[in-house]
Amino acid sequence: MPVLDITGYAEDFNAYPYEYYKQMREAGPVHRVRDAHGEEIWLVVGYEEARQALAHPALGKNWRVHERYVDITASEVNQNMLEMDPPDHTRLRRLVAREFTSRRIEALRPRVQQVTDELLDAMAAQPERRADLVDAFAFPLPMTVICELLGVPDLDREPFRIMSNELLAPSSPEAELKANQDMAVYMAGLIERKRAAGGDDLLSALIRTTDEDGDRLGPEELIGMAFLLLVAGHETTVNLIGNGVRALLAHPDQLAALRADFDGLLDGAVEEMLRYDGPVENATFRFAHEDVELGGVTIAKGDPVLVSLAGSSHDPERYPEPTSFDIRRAPQGHLAFGHGIHFCIGAPLARMEARIAVRALLERFPDLAQASDGAPYEWITASLIRGVKRLPVRW
């Protein structure tokens, strides 16, 4: 099978990748491609094939078992559920699920509303009636919520944001390795402070929790879990809010319909935001633990596989007129939160935050509009996260 060199795609790929995914999908649902680092990987762009790949037991997450990665040293940060297979994944997920309950998430609702209102108050006080929505709202809301949920409201957010951005969109392999090491040290210190202070928060509960058989999270596993919850718990929701508002502002008819019927259309609007231009462009890598047949091709043992959530969400075989943003669509079954055993454990929290944020923002600013003045957006250049670095708005 020929290798498709996607590094030569036009510069507007970040701005609108869906046309390129369409071209690939028309040639087949699974492709051998060469990524920006010159590595040959498999890219899945068809919806049914993506769903199969996300839940396929032979496409695992534990990269350590493959010979091609023996020279890579894992840090404590890598001891998280997203980089493990059963039975290790099963054990960690069970321990976290004991504390990351729907009751704990639902109890956050008043606080999410309060933080939302405070951030909108600060925006409304701006005399120029303009703001960068990412910096003023989309970032601080989920960051505040996840920090308070975990019990780290004093998190030094600027250094954390720099490390997080370097891990998600590395500027170089060396910078990524340093950020990984720095994050492990940072998380270890954070956990030690929490262990000494105690509390009723999620991180304290994870430190204390034990299973029926006495099993508990080890020191490295706690570091990996804290990293996963903090990074995944804010970064994806930042871009869900940012991408969702951007889609609404670009489709005035949909925005008007939502304003006229928040109660009836809000939940569906958030699901369509997730499908139409979701915050996670590609799922984290999977690795073939044995030869796998998928979409008419054979993926050899050891090969890395990237599942395009963005590509699959625009598959016309699953979604008629996929490039249309339609908040009345029934997008059930979208893969924005993944599928299978690695389905996002924080999906209920992300949905709640997005619903509260979008409604409150649109109610507070009835004439909200883009303020980019025609300037092109600066996109996050990462295979994992999709979103813009800034979203200028006015009211």
Which contacts qualify for 16-22: CB closer than 8 Å, 24 or more apart? 17/281, 17/310, 17/311, 18/310, 18/311, 18/314, 18/322, 18/323, 21/45, 21/308, 21/310, 21/311, 21/314, 22/314
Q: How large is the average pLDDT for residues 142-148?
A: 91
pLDDT in tens, 224-246: 988 898 888 888 999 999 999 99
Q: How large is the average pLDDT for residues 104-110?
A: 93
Q: How large is the average pLDDT for residues 244-263?
A: 98
Mean pLDDT over the full length of the chain: 90
Token output for 71: 């020279």
pLDDT category at 128 given cuts 50, 70, 90 is very high
DSSP character for 6? G
DSSP character for 377? P
Number of domains in the chain: 1
- Asked whether the predicted pLDDT for residue 100 surpasses 90, the reply is no
Is residue 207 packed enough to be buried (19+ CB in 10 Å), middle (13-18) or exposed (0-12)?
buried
What is the extent of the structural domain holding 263?
4-394
What pLDDT score does 24 carry? 93
Instruction: Look up the CATH number of the domain holding residue 370.
Output: 1.10.630.10
- Whole-model pTM over 0.85: yes
What pLDDT score does 7 carry? 57
pLDDT in tens, 55-94: 999 999 998 878 777 667 677 888 889 999 999 999 989 9
Give the SS3 label for residue 319.
coil
